[in-house]
Structure 1
Amino acid sequence: MKTPVIILLVLSGFMTMNACKKEEQKAPGNPVINTKTEFSSAYFGDSLQFTVGVSDDARIPLSTLKARLYYSDELVSETVIRTKEEGDYSGKIFVPYHANVANGTATLKLALQNINFTIREETYELPLERPDYPYLTLVAEDTEYRMERTGLYTYAAATTFPAKVNGYIKTPAYGDNGNELTFGWEENAVKEGSTNNIPFSNAFSGDYTITFNTLNYEAAPFIIAYAINQTVMDRVDDNTYRVDLALNHEEQVVIDGFDDLDAWWIDPDYFARDASGNLLFQPKAGNYRITADFNHEYFIVEALNGADLATLQADGSGAAWIIGEGIGKPAVATNAVGWTTEKALCMAPIADKIYQITVVAGTTVSADNINFKFFHQKGWGGEFTNAALSTTSDLIFVGDGSNGRDPGNLGITEGQTLEAGATYVFTLDLTQGSDQGVLTVEKK
Structure 2
Amino acid sequence: MNKQLFYALILTGLLTGACKKEETKPSGNPIIDPKTEFSSAYFGDSLAFTVSVSDAEVPLSTLKARLYYSDELVSETVIRTKTNGDYTGKIFVPYYANVPNGTATLKLVLQNINFTVAEEQYDLPLERPDYPYLTLVTDVAEYRLERTGPYTYAATSTFPARMSGYIKTPTFGEAGNELTFGWIDNAIKEGSTNNIPFSNAFSGEYTISFNSLTYEAAPFIIAYAINQTVMKRVDDTHYSVDLALNQEEEVIIDGFDDLASWWIDPDYFAKDGSDKLLFQPKSGNYRITADFNNRYFIVEALNGSDLAALQPDGTGAVWIIGEGIGKPSVSANAVGWTPEKALCMAPIQDKVYQVTVVAGTTVAADNINFKFFHQKGWGGEFKNDALSTTSDLIFVGDGSNGRDPGNLGLLEGKTLEAGTTYVLTLDLTAGNDQAVLNVETR
When the two structures are superposed, what TM-score results if normalisation uses the length of structure 2? 0.53
Q: What CA distance in whole angstroms lies between the structure 2 residues aligned with 1:41 and 1:362? A: 69
**How do residues 123-162 of structure 1 correspond to structure 2 at under 5 angstroms?**
123-162=121-160
Between structure 1 and structure 2, the one with the greater Rg is 1
**How do residues 223-372 of structure 1 correspond to structure 2 at under 5 angstroms?**
223-225=221-223, 235=228, 240-241=251-252, 256=257, 261=261, 263=263, 291=276
Of 213, 216, 224, 2:214 maps to: 216
Indicate the SS of the match to 2:220.
Answer: coil
**How do residues 2-151 of structure 1 correspond to structure 2 at under 5 angstroms?**
18-25=18-25, 27-57=26-56, 59-151=57-149
Contact 1:36 1:50 in 2 (8 A): yes
Given residue 75 of structure 1, which amino acid in structure 2 is its aligned partner? L
Q: What CA distance in whole angstroms lies between the structure 1 residues aligned with 2:95 and 2:158? A: 31
Cα 1:162/1:19, change in 2 over 3 Å: same
Q: What CA distance in whole angstroms lies between the structure 2 residues aligned with 1:194 and 1:361? A: 45
| 5+ long unaligned stretches in structure 1 | 227-231, 244-253, 267-287, 300-329, 336-359, 364-418, 423-444
Q: What CA distance in whole angstroms lies between the structure 2 residues aligned with 1:13 and 1:298? A: 90
Q: CA deviation at 1:293?
A: 7.0
1:388-411: per-residue Cα shift (whole Å, max 9, x none)?
xxxxxxxxxxxxxxxxxxxxxxxx
Q: CA deviation at 1:23?
A: 2.9
Indicate the SS of the match to 1:179.
Answer: coil
Indicate the SS of the match to 1:256.
Answer: coil
Given residue 256 of structure 1, which amino acid in structure 2 is its aligned partner? D
Indicate the SS of the match to 2:54.
Answer: strand
1:73-114: per-residue Cα shift (whole Å, max 9, x none)?
222212222222212222211111111110000110101111
Q: CA deviation at 1:14?
A: 6.2
1:146-179: per-residue Cα shift (whole Å, max 9, x none)?
1111111001111000000111111112111111
Given residue 24 of structure 1, which amino acid in structure 2 is its aligned partner? T
Contact 1:242 1:291 in 2 (8 A): no
Counterpart for residue 372 of structure 1: none
Contact 2:265 2:296 in 1 (8 A): yes
Q: CA deviation at 1:12?
A: 7.2
1:299-358: per-residue Cα shift (whole Å, max 9, x none)?
9xxxxxxxxxxxxxxxxxxxxxxxxxxxxxx9xxx99xxxxxxxxxxxxxxxxxxxxxxx
Q: CA deviation at 1:129?
A: 0.4
Contact 1:32 1:120 in 2 (8 A): yes
Contact 1:29 1:60 in 2 (8 A): yes
Contact 1:236 1:242 in 2 (8 A): no
Of 177, 185, 188, 2:175 maps to: 177
Q: How many residues are paired up?
A: 272
Cα 1:148/1:114, change in 2 over 3 Å: same
Q: What CA distance in whole angstroms lies between the structure 1 residues aligned with 2:359 and 2:49? A: 78
Q: What CA distance in whole angstroms lies between the structure 2 residues aligned with 1:136 and 1:80? A: 33
Q: What CA distance in whole angstroms lies between the structure 1 residues aligned with 2:31 and 2:155? A: 53
Indicate the SS of the match to 2:24.
Answer: helix
Contact 1:50 1:92 in 2 (8 A): yes
1:116-146: per-residue Cα shift (whole Å, max 9, x none)?
2211110111000001111111111222211
Asked if residue 164 in structure 1 is aligned to residue 162 in structure 2, the reply is yes
Given residue 45 of structure 1, which amino acid in structure 2 is its aligned partner? G
Given residue 104 of structure 2, which amino acid in structure 1 is its aligned partner? A
Cα 1:234/1:4, change in 2 over 3 Å: closer
When the two structures are superposed, what TM-score results if normalisation uses the length of structure 1? 0.52
Contact 2:133 2:147 in 1 (8 A): yes
Cα 1:91/1:261, change in 2 over 3 Å: farther
Q: What is the Cα-based RMSD across aligned positions, in Å? A: 4.2
Counterpart for residue 399 of structure 2: none
